[in-house]
Each structure stands twice: as C-alpha cells, then as structure tokens.
Structure 1
Amino acid sequence: MREEKFNNPHGLAVDAQGNLYVAERLIGERFVRLGKV
C-alpha cells in the first residue's frame, strides 16, 4: 500500500477484492485506489 495525502476526502468504498477507494473533492474530483485493506 502507498501513502497518500488528501485535502478534502468525502467518501470511501471497498470493492469485492478488498481495494479501498477514496473520493476527494477537488476541481473535477479525484478517486484514488489504495489497494487491498
């Protein structure tokens, strides 16, 4: 897993494979996949 820094995270999701996704409010928004948890 890698280290990420967020300014304005507003949502989390975990898929069936255990990957963690973070949604961040920026211009155009950003979705980051961090890997298995």
Structure 2
Amino acid sequence: MSQWSPASFIESPRKEAPLVTSSLVGEVDGLRWFSLLHL
C-alpha cells in the first residue's frame, strides 16, 4: 500500500478521494457487522 500524504491527496483528488471514502464506508460496515455478530 502506497504511503498516503495530504500533498498527494491535493495533487490527485479524483484518484485518492474515492479510495478514502470507500475505506471509511468499509470500516463503518465492518463495525456494523461486528456489533450484529456480538449482540
């Protein structure tokens, strides 16, 4: 995994922003499944 930095985010928002968004969504989904499995 390439090292993330604010400079690269500013230089290529189209390429980086979807990755950041999808990773955040993935973490939320993971927490949701974790809470469902451990109720």
If the TM-score is normalised by the length of the shorter chain, which range does it land in?
under 0.3
Structure with greater helix percent: 2
Structure with the larger RCO, 1 or 2 (CA within 8 Å, 6+ apart):
1
Q: Which of the pair has more CA radius of gyration?
A: 2
The TM-score with structure 2 as length reference comes to 0.19
| Greater percentage in strand | 1
- Taking structure 1 as the reference length, the TM-score comes to 0.19
